Amino acid sequence: MTTSPMKLTRPAYPNTSIQVPNACYETRQGQAQWYPPVMIGADTLAETIARGEYLDEALALMERLDADEYTTYLRDFYREGMKRFGVAWKYADIVTVLLCLSETLKPRTYLEIGVRRGRSACAVASKTSYCSMFLFDMWMTNYAGMENP
């Protein structure tokens, strides 16, 4: 008994109207989309964040912002970690993650709920040439034990 080889069909990936261009591969007109368009994943991003350059950039950003108790704490924390562990220190927080994601993905839109002083928004803005930003806060007095400007 002979069997004929199984015929494989081309994969069909749905067209999405919204994509992150920096993270997706766009085929040439008429070219088959053999793989899903997303080219970068969490492991690559995690490795990129952990390289340390974003920690240096986060520290530089904290130094440009008007100091409050929390940003002063962060600057001291970053410096101490860098002093104790040097380039081997693998550290990430919201600021380093946003710096990396903004530089890598180049978002066109950013939504932040709970802005307080705009530290995270400043991280995004520092890495994107154009990004529509929508920032919301209730401006509660003494939020998290600190003044909320």
Asked whether the beta carbons of 55 and 89 are under 8 A apart, the reply is yes
Which pLDDT score is estimated for 81? 97
- 3-class SS at 35? coil
The answer to whether residue 16 is domain-embedded is: no
Asked whether the beta carbons of 44 and 23 are under 8 A apart, the reply is no
- 3-class SS at 37? coil
Kindly report the CA angle at 73 between 68 and 79, in degrees rounded to 5?
130
The answer to whether residue 110 is domain-embedded is: yes
Q: Which residues contact 105 (CB under 8 A, 6 or more apart)?
A: 20, 22, 23
> Distance between CA atoms of 97 and 55, rounded to whole angstroms?
9
> Distance between CA atoms of 98 and 117, rounded to whole angstroms?
16
The answer to whether residue 8 is domain-embedded is: no
The answer to whether residue 98 is domain-embedded is: yes
Q: Which residue has the tokens 């912002």?
A: 65
Query: Of all helices (H) and strands (E), which one includes residue 132?
Result: strand 132-136
Which pLDDT score is estimated for 1? 66
The answer to whether residue 100 is domain-embedded is: yes
pLDDT per residue as tens, the chain (149 positions): 677 777 778 777 777 777 888 999 988 998 888 888 899 999 999 999 988 899 999 999 999 999 999 999 999 999 999 999 998 999 999 999 999 999 999 999 999 999 988 999 999 999 998 999 999 998 888 877 877 77
Give the residue numbers spanning the domain of 123.
39-136
The answer to whether residue 9 is domain-embedded is: no
The answer to whether residue 33 is domain-embedded is: no
Domains of the chain: total: 1
Which pLDDT score is estimated for 31? 87
